[in-house]
Amino acid sequence: MKPLPVYETFYSWQGEGCHMGKSAFFIRLFGCPIKCPWCDSAGTWHPDFVPETIERISVEALVAQAKEHNPAIVVITGGEPCIHDLTELTHALQEADLTVNLETAGAYPIRGSFDWITLSPKEWKHPLNENLALAHEFKVIVDKPETIEFWETTLGDQLSKRPVWLNPEWSQRADPLILRTINSAVKKGQHDYRAGYQLHKLFAVDEEDSRSKPTTQLRLSPSDT
């Protein structure tokens, strides 16, 4: 089986969305062409942060690493994991009786078998319709007051019937305007809106595994990348 370019793997718990609080083994893959200006995983793609050597790890080794911890879920994330064909990895994880969750912007075809898909739409490359239909939950990163309305207009009814988490963009998590915008949307209830957060960051749980790398957070405009 073809090895995959891996930025980091570590054992922690899921700090976001419907699976918040569950033990989780994270597989963070390299590469993302979307280039969000506030990306907090810039080490997977930004030239200022990408490490000199990119490790390639076999599917067998990734499954063995995950299995060692017997996590409630395995989270495949990035970067944008769907720029890779995840068929072999996800089948192997499921054959090992592991539950496989995906975190994706949904802008590239999803190749693989997943028990749960979190789709976090990005304005710099919109999600594919076929992926919107597959998502079990949405995660909207609220980086400005207009963000929620933008996705209501852009995605319309496709946002319905599934939880839509509204997470403040991390560097603006104390911005009263951003927080009030989220409060208001949840209380208005046009969709199944839920106020979200990156709870794992408050607990600093990722850092407890020495394999996890420090957060690489951008505050740039996309034209700078």
176-188 and 147-155 are packed helices; what angle lies between their axes, rounded to 10 degrees?
40
Let me know: does 10 contact 195? Beta carbons within 8 Å.
Answer: no
In the complex, least distance from residue 163 CB atom to ligand SF4, rounded to whole angstroms: 19
Quick one: 36 or 63, whose CB is closer to ligand SF4? 36
Let me know: does 76 contact 100? Beta carbons within 8 Å.
Answer: yes
- Residue in this structure with the two tokens 């749960």, named with its chain if needed: 116
Quick one: 60 or 130, whose CB is closer to ligand SF4? 130
In degrees rounded to 5, what are phi and psi of residue 34?
Answer: -85, -35
Q: Binding residues for ligand SF4, per CB under 6 A?
A: 32, 34-36, 39, 41, 44, 78-80, 105, 122
In the complex, least distance from residue 97 CB atom to ligand SF4, rounded to whole angstroms: 29
Quick one: 83 or 159, whose CB is closer to ligand SF4? 83
Pairing label, strands 4-13, 23-29: antiparallel
| Closest to 92 measured CA to CA, from 68, 113, 116, 71 | 113
Quick one: 113 or 215, whose CB is closer to ligand SF4? 215
d(CA 56, CA 188): 46
DSSP H stretches of helix in 96-175? 129-134, 147-155
In the complex, least distance from residue 219 CB atom to ligand SF4, rounded to whole angstroms: 13
In degrees rounded to 5, what are phi and psi of residue 119?
Answer: -110, 120
In the complex, least distance from residue 16 CB atom to ligand SF4, rounded to whole angstroms: 13
Quick one: 118 or 181, whose CB is closer to ligand SF4? 118
In the complex, least distance from residue 33 CB atom to ligand SF4, rounded to whole angstroms: 8
